[in-house]
């Protein structure tokens, strides 16, 4: 059954199925091409009549997530990808809580069209679900003279402004918006939480595995210079705008070659406009204190990357300098985890460095500033990759039948997937509606932590040894 909703740019026609209506590929900004390439997002052109919103837009330019796998973007798809998708309960009335998802992918991969992000099951809990596309890689995060930095984050702000203006027509309450995301999406949530540009656009936030990787303007400029030299063009907006997106994609891994555990050359840039510092430093000043925050990590974050990357022969001592750890910290790790072989200890150190400590610091900073804060550890273990990075995503959306879900969950899907997924979805939607995810708040004196596993438990902070090692090694992260 068709369902038509009027937005300020024109009417859109969605499809109702199973008690939930979906509206796909609605533009929230104009295509970033021609004079708009490397520019801040501009409003979309209005349309006459009713626009079919039954298919996803193009995805942002990107390479395949893993060599040999198809990419969600091909050059012939073009650049008209700044869109949102909406799932809303049929007959749900008005004033429903709104959940706005920001995908992960190391700031260089991702698409709201991926099946794992289908919002139908979440919307069935009585919420409106929105997913968005934003610019990736150099298109979204490269620094160029005369171009705004953090264009991918500016896209996210524009999408949230669209939600603020339009979501009531889809049954949502613009004053009851929760922004949530995983990995680079969680990093984006943390950035938006601390940025004055996003103030008032959301009431609550859920950050699933906040990563490190925030760069200064100078560091981002050095990456631009490396790419310009590789491409043989001047390091200017005009020089890069003359290149097709696929030409930039072909060299995007050049700046991280040879780095231990290098994941991406792109991400948030401390430009002193949109971003004034690392989230945990900014949150400590009280920025975002009025926003309720749930954040957490998976129990074996880095196992995903060691499974996909040849790290044979890498010792704990090899990762110390790249992660800004003194040598004595590695001695402390060996003492704290005496039974672990080197390969597993490297996973623990990098899990802490890249995700678990940034997430913990963000929770501490938000709580220290007086914000209501909850912390979790997603410890459910899959059959091949354990409790690895992103294993919480299929549980979040209840999507167990996608190719990426099969990689994480195994096949057949374990029988405890559905009840744990249902519990997680109930928690996230209850938090969006009421500000209570269902377990005690995290405070500096009592660092309560929810452990998502079978069974679900609540208790003290789950990796105290790592937390203490980093407290001594980097007292001011």
Q: What are the residue numbers of the active site?
A: 183, 301, 389
The Cβ of residue 197 has, within 10 Å, a number of other Cβ atoms equal to 17
Report the alpha-carbon distance of residue 396 to residue 178 in Å, rounded.
Answer: 14
Main-chain dihedrals φ then ψ at residue 85, nearest 5 degrees: -130, 145
CB under 8 Å to 176, separation ≥6 — which residues?
95, 96, 97, 98, 203, 432, 433
Question: If you ran DSSP here, which 8-state letter would residue 252 be given?
Answer: T
In degrees and rounded to multiples of 5, residue 247 shows phi and psi of -70, -40
Give which of 294, 343, 298 is closest to 189, Cα–Cα.
294
CB 96 within 8 A of CB 126: yes
Token pair recorded at residue 273:
């406009």
Cα-Cα-Cα-Cα torsion 61, 211, 264, 341, nearest 10 degrees, comes to -130
- CB burial of residue 258 (10 Å; 0-12, 13-18, 19+): exposed
What 3-state DSSP class applies to 339?
A: coil
- C-alpha to C-alpha distance for 203 and 291, rounded to whole angstroms: 5
| Count of C-beta atoms within a 10 Å radius of residue 404 | 17
Q: How many of the other CB atoms lie within 10 Å of CB of 338?
A: 8
Q: How far is the C-alpha of 36 from the C-alpha of 105, rounded, in Å?
A: 24
Q: CB neighbours of 6 closer than 8 A, spacing ≥ 6?
A: 169
> Could you write out the DSSP letters of every residue in 349-407?
HHHIIIIIHHHHHHHHHHHHTT--EEEEEE---BTTTBS-TTTHHHHHHT--SSHHHHH
């Amino acid at each position: 059954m068709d369902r038509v909703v009027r937005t300020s740019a024109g009417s859109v026609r969605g499809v109702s199925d199973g008690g939930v209506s979906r509206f796909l590929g609605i533009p929230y900004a104009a295509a970033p091409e021609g004079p708009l390439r490397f520019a801040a997002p501009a409003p979309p052109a209005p349309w006459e009549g009713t626009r079919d919103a039954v298919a996803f837009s193009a995805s942002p330019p990107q390479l395949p997530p893993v060599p040999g796998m198809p990419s969600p973007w091909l050059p012939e798809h073009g650049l008209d990808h700044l869109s949102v998708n909406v799932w809303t309960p049929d007959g749900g009335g008005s004033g429903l809580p709104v959940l706005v998802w920001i995908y992960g992918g190391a700031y260089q991969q991702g698409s709201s069209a991926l099946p794992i992000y289908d919002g139908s099951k979440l919307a069935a809990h009585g919420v409106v679900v929105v997913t968005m596309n934003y610019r990736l890689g150099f298109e979204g995060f490269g620094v160029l003279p005369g171009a705004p930095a953090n264009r991918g984050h500016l896209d996210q702000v524009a999408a949230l402004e669209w939600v603020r203006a339009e979501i009531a027509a889809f049954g949502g309450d613009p004053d009851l918006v929760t922004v949530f995301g995983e990995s680079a999406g969680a990093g984006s949530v943390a950035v938006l939480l601390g940025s004055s540009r996003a103030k008032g656009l959301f009431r609550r936030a859920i950050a699933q595995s906040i990563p490190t990787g925030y760069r200064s303007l100078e560091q981002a400029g050095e990456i631009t210079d490396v790419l310009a030299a590789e491409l043989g063009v001047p390091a200017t907006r005009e020089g890069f705008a003359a290149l097709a997106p696929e030409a930039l994609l072909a060299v995007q891994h050049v700046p991280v070659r040879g780095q231990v555990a290098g994941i991406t050359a792109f991400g948030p840039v401390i430009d002193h406009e949109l971003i004034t510092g690392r989230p945990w430093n900014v949150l400590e000043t009280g920025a975002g204190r009025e926003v309720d925050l749930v954040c957490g990590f998976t129990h074996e974050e880095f196992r995903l990357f060691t499974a996909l990357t040849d790290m044979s022969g890498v010792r704990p001592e090899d990762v110390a300098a790249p992660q800004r750890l003194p040598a004595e910290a590695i001695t402390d790790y060996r003492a704290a985890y005496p039974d672990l072989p080197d390969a597993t200890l490297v996973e623990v150190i990098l899990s802490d460095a890249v995700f678990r400590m940034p997430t913990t610091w963000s929770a501490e900073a938000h709580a220290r500033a007086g914000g209501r804060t909850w912390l979790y550890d997603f410890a459910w273990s899959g059959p091949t990759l354990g409790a690895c990075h992103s294993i919480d995503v299929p549980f979040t959306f209840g999507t167990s039948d996608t190719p990426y879900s099969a990689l994480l969950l195994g096949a057949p899907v374990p029988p405890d997937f559905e009840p744990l997924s249902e519990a997680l979805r109930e928690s996230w939607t209850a938090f969006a509606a009421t500000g209570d995810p269902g377990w005690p708040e995290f405070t500096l004196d009592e660092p309560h932590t929810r452990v998502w596993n079978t069974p679900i438990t609540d208790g003290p902070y789950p990796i105290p040894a790592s937390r203490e090692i980093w407290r001594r090694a980097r007292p001011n992260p």
